[in-house]
Structure 1
Amino acid sequence: MNFRNSKLTINEAKETDLINYLSNLGYEPSKIRNNDYWYRSPLRNEKKASFKIIRRLNRWYDHGLGKGGNLIDFGVLYFNCSIEELLQNSSRNFSFQQPKIQQTDYNTIKENKIIIHKEMSLSSPSLLSYLQHRSIPIEIAQQYCVEVRYTWAKKNYFGIGFKNDLGGFEIRNPYFKTSSSPKGITTFSNGNIEVIAFEGFMDFLSFKAMTKNLPEKSQDFVILNSITFFERARPFMENHESIRLYFDRDETGQNYTICALSLSTKYCDKSQLYKNYKDLNDWTMNFGKTEGRSLDLK
């Protein structure tokens, strides 16, 4: 699959209307006050809107994260990708023209919910090609993921589905990242004294690929599916004698790592393995492709 056409420039992306962009992602404002458009944050799970777009500046700010910026800043966090990947892929999904002004009654806006219609074995060529691009062996992905067919906003889609403990799915395809309700963590409990923790399931799949020669149930795992679910995962993690953290190398991931290390000596930071990359999967896609198998990951 070609990931390198229709590339945007940084300036074009920065000038893209954020309200239109979020609308294309499926997010509509909960309320509008003057030039401020308030949303339930697309970057984390919340019930009360604390994510704001300042229309006259075309900038966003997430009060819960204490972060903000332009579309590029948002896209890198939302899609968990590099700036290069964002510029290469986003133009295929969204119109980056300024939107036409429409009169909308936001009091009548209802949340669009993803409805899962079918779960099946991963088989679609585009999804298999995407996994290869992410350096995830197909057999590993098929062991832990399914192909889901779902409806959103009265349109049908499909993607790689990774189920959480509550029955919801994290959903990925080459162009889109979303999830179905209910949101939650994913745990694999095999009765071991050590647990390994990841932010997202792509890192988990990368780790499983790198350690595929180990016995299947020799380790326990927790995938947060959102770094903000760290507290939710603590009881499961701290029921083990040792907790190995493979969190992202961005500011948020490292802040949570530092926080965890301050809580207990059970926690151990393993992110130095990929210190020059944004996460474990990014490392395996690059340097770790051939080197990972020879490293001691214990």
Structure 2
Amino acid sequence: MDFSKKRLSVSEAKEIDMVHFLAGLGFEPAKIRNNDYWYHSPLRDEKTPSFKVNRRLNCWYDHGLGKGGNLVDFAILFHGCTVAELLQNLNGNFSLHKPVSQQTFPKQEQEKQIKILGDFVLSSNVLLRYLQQRRIPIDIADRYCREVRYELNGKVYYGIGFKNDLGGFEIRNPYFKASSSPKGITTIDNSAGEVIVFEGFTDFLSFKATHQQDPEDRFDFVVLNSVSFFETARPFLEKHNTIRLYLDRDATGQNCSRYALSLSSNYKDESSLYQNHKDFNDWIVNFGKPQRKHQKQKLK
């Protein structure tokens, strides 16, 4: 593909090899263990390497920051730029597999931390309307979510908060997607023989909404809250006889599913259920609607 004539898409940028990308920025791994490449964090100063890239998944996680994700997530943090600026600067400068040379980006600003001020019963009309737009029943959301008030850059905001096992929140509202530290997976342990895995909590809530007749203890659940936490989740997942994956249909989610299937026959990829959609929730939201919308999205 000639990238000098066509700007990279977000999905193409996510496919770029993280190890090669970091090498192009001048960062080499301090140690390598199987698929895990450990670095001194490019995002902060540290003496002990705690920035991990899983090359099989092509995802990263910075244990000091409690953040992780795909290459695009890393690059906009490292360079302090928008996604559009990143794609523009990457245009024509490397292929999907070769190292990238250092680009000139705006100086990175120090990342502001989200401070949780409190969590309450969901009551905001804006948030309740947002849940309705995502076709998530309020009573389902009430069981697993809280209305979170948080401070960012000196201003107070609110959103739908989904708590992880470490006490941090994944936060969503119609205009913002974020998370508070510490970041981690969310497990729901019903002592079941099967476990169902989702990438984000809206997919989990959508599944619960469409399976309200199921006994409460039929399945265990894991919400990764980021594909980069897949390895963290494995000890819990692999206690089960069957592990059903409902991950996103993008490159990162599908790479993770393929990796999981290579580990054990206990893993089952269920994402073909919503193969023409981004994820489980997108399928639910658009269920029964004409497919023209998705065809147009593919042409963009």
Q: Does 1:203 align with 2:233?
A: no
Residue 190 of structure 2 corresponds to: 190
- Contact 1:137–1:209 (8 Å) recurs in 2: yes
Alignment of 1:138-217 (within 5 A): 138-217=138-217
Q: In structure 2, do the counterparts of structure 1 residues 288 and 205 end up closer, same or farther at CA, with 3 Å as the change threshold?
A: farther
Q: In structure 2, do the counterparts of structure 1 residues 60 and 188 end up closer, same or farther at CA, with 3 Å as the change threshold?
A: farther
Alignment of 1:6-155 (within 5 A): 45-46=61-62, 51=75, 53=79, 58-59=88-89, 110-155=110-155
Distance (whole Å) between structure 2 residues aligned to residue 156 and residue 274 of structure 1: 37
Distance (whole Å) between structure 1 residues aligned to residue 224 and residue 60 of structure 2: 12
Deviations 1:42-74, CA, capped at 9 Å, x for gaps: x9642599525497984359xxx989xxxxxxx
**TM-score normalised to structure 2 length:** 0.64
Distance (whole Å) between structure 2 residues aligned to residue 155 and residue 66 of structure 1: 41
- Contact 1:44–1:226 (8 Å) recurs in 2: no
Distance (whole Å) between structure 2 residues aligned to residue 254 and residue 207 of structure 1: 19
Q: Does 1:228 align with 2:228?
A: yes
| 1:178 maps to amino acid | A
Q: In structure 2, do the counterparts of structure 1 residues 146 and 66 end up closer, same or farther at CA, with 3 Å as the change threshold?
A: farther
Deviations 1:112-154, CA, capped at 9 Å, x for gaps: 1111111100010000000011110111001100000010111
| 2:170 maps to amino acid | E
Q: Percent identity?
A: 57
Distance (whole Å) between structure 2 residues aligned to residue 277 and residue 188 of structure 1: 26
- Residue 112 of structure 1: SS of its match in structure 2? coil
Distance (whole Å) between structure 1 residues aligned to residue 188 and residue 97 of structure 2: 32
Structure 2 unmatched ranges of 5 or more: 1-6, 8-24, 26-41, 45-50, 52-58, 66-72, 99-105, 290-300
Distance (whole Å) between structure 1 residues aligned to residue 266 and residue 226 of structure 2: 21
| 1:242 maps to amino acid | T
Q: In structure 2, do the counterparts of structure 1 residues 275 and 57 end up closer, same or farther at CA, with 3 Å as the change threshold?
A: closer
| 2:89 maps to amino acid | R
Q: In structure 2, do the counterparts of structure 1 residues 152 and 57 end up closer, same or farther at CA, with 3 Å as the change threshold?
A: closer
Distance (whole Å) between structure 2 residues aligned to residue 218 and residue 208 of structure 1: 11
Q: CA deviation at 1:285?
A: 0.4
